[in-house]
Amino acid sequence: MNRLNHRPSWLARLGLSAGFVLAIAAGVVLSAVFFALFSVMALVFGGWLWWQTRRLRRQQREAFIETEYEVETEYEVL
């Protein structure tokens, strides 16, 4: 019965507090690393996507200029 009302020693409290602070600090650092990693991945993917659309726009522009076409000004009225 005496053990149920036992308070932890100062050393145990200090160790628990230090562990808690280290766990919080590790969580903050880990979340910052993941945020930086995902930000870089998003920038790389966005750059790649922009480059691909730029290439496609250039191909479309070149294809339009090289294509022959004629404008019909007269049309048949029904």
The boundaries of the domain holding residue 46 are: 32-65
- CA distance to 5, 10, 11, 27, 58, per residue, from 16 (Å): 19, 10, 9, 16, 62
Q: Which two tokens stand for residue 54?
A: 């730029």
Give a yes or no: residue 60 inside a domain.
Answer: yes
Count how many domains the chain has: 1
pLDDT of 65 reads 63
Give a yes or no: residue 17 inside a domain.
Answer: no
Angle formed at CA 59 by CA 57 and CA 61, multiple of 5 degrees: 70
pLDDT tens sequence across 27-77: 999 999 999 999 999 999 999 999 999 999 998 887 776 667 788 888 887
Contacts of 16 (CB under 8 A, 6+ apart): 8
Q: Which two tokens stand for residue 8?
A: 């932890």
